[in-house]
Amino acid sequence: MIPGKFRENVQDVLPTLPNPDDYFLLRWLRARSFDLQKSEAMLRKHVEVRKQKDIDNIMSWQPPEVVQQYLSGGMCGYDLDGCPIWYDIIGPLDAKGLLLSATKQDLVKTKMRDCELLLRECACQTEKTARAVMKSCLVVILFSPSFPLLPANWKEVLLKHVSPDQLPVEYGGTMTDPDGDPKCKSKINYGGDIPKKYYVRDQTKMGERQRAGEMTEVLANQRYNAHLVPEDGTLTCSDPGIYVLRFDNTYSFIHAKKVSFTVEVLLPDKASEEKMKQLGAVTPK
């Protein structure tokens, strides 16, 4: 039998997994159309990632405050098969604000934590219902209750998969929070605009440095294709002072960039220095 052969092939990594029963192994076989070699490669990669990211202990980690308060979504209720439901509420999500307020690593780690939460909830449901809950969850992606592209009967469609008492009133069910909130905000985070006090990127510290907007621009900001051809240039500083070389990643702030640069400051030669002094000594008539 294929499942037995698969278990034999991966028996060395099974002790490192939370619940490596037959249902667990069947998921990997199904994901790779029962190809033993591909299923084994996928499972071993999964074990490697869990170890690298310390997933076994990820539930003890807490995301930054801004992520906890403004990353929309949450687990709420169960579908007709007993699978936990995760809601991703896209409409009010301030994606740009999150990217300016938290590191990409923290955002990715938060979603890994959510996935681990769902997997553990599936295991609990398996014990509670005495039947295998093999699907991780039923993900419902809602832009907003009034999103124009949603079909008119979207609530009825949800009720074909979810019992009314497991679906918030906001989405066509009868579930509410203990205080009667129809959106079940105690379980589902609805995000919202992030206050700029949380921003940690694109912000210049006050004190020794001025904010970028308060500086005098001596060279207009330009976009360069430096990933194709190295860029070089010069600037003659006519006035003494502190000059700031500022790199801006506005055009692709979702993706991090690694910038290598060299700056050389050349003092003016004698002739140039005398000429600048003469120009500075000339006063309008």
Task: Kindly write down the DSSP assignment for every residue of 174-217, as one continuous string.
Answer: -B--TT--TT-TTTSB--BPPPGGG--SS-PPSSSS--GGGSPP
Pairing label, strands 84-89, 138-142:
parallel
More confident of the two residues 140 and 209: 140
For the chain, give every residue range classified as CATH 1.10.8.20. 2-52
List pLDDT tens digits, range 16-33. 888 888 888 998 999 999
Closest of 73, 161, 51 to residue 117, by C-alpha: 73
List pLDDT tens digits, range 189-212. 999 999 999 988 654 443 334 566
CB atoms within 10 A of CB 107: 18
Among 36-45, 156-165, 187-196, 240-249, name the one with the lowest average pLDDT. 240-249
Q: What is the pLDDT, as a whole number, of residue 44?
A: 95
Q: How far apart are CA 36 and CA 205, in angstroms?
A: 55
For 2-52, the fitting CATH number among 3.40.50.720, 1.10.3470.10, 1.10.8.20, 3.60.20.10 is 1.10.8.20
Q: Does the structural domain 65-171 have CATH classification 3.40.50.2300?
A: no
For the chain, give every residue range classified as CATH 3.40.525.10. 65-171
Residue 276 pLDDT grade (very low, low, confident, very high; cuts 50, 70, 90): low
- The values of phi and psi at residue 164, to 5°, are -55, -35
More confident of the two residues 230 and 73: 73
Q: Is the pLDDT of residue 173 over 50?
A: yes
Among 155-159, 185-189, 246-250, name the one with the lowest average pLDDT. 246-250
Q: How far apart are CA 74 and CA 114, in angstroms?
A: 8
The answer to whether the CB of 82 falls within 8 A of the CB of 134 is: no
Q: What is the pLDDT, as a whole number, of residue 141?
A: 61
Q: What is the pLDDT, as a whole number, of residue 248?
A: 75
CA atoms within 13 A on the CB side of 284: 0
Q: What is the pLDDT, as a whole number, of residue 42?
A: 95
Q: What is the pLDDT, as a whole number, of residue 143?
A: 58
Q: Is the pLDDT of residue 127 over 60?
A: yes
Element (H, E) at 87: strand 84-89
Among 32-36, 113-117, 212-216, name the one with the lowest average pLDDT. 212-216
Average pLDDT over the chain reads: 83
DSSP secondary-structure letter at 15?
Answer: G
Query: Which residues, 6+ apart, have CB-to-CB distance to 40 below 8 Å?
Result: 6, 9, 10
Instruction: Give Cα 272 to chain centroid, integer Å.
Output: 53
More confident of the two residues 157 and 177: 177
Q: Is the pLDDT of residue 264 over 80?
A: yes
Among 24-38, 135-149, 263-277, name the one with the lowest average pLDDT. 135-149
Q: What is the pLDDT, as a whole number, of residue 249?
A: 72
More confident of the two residues 220 and 88: 88
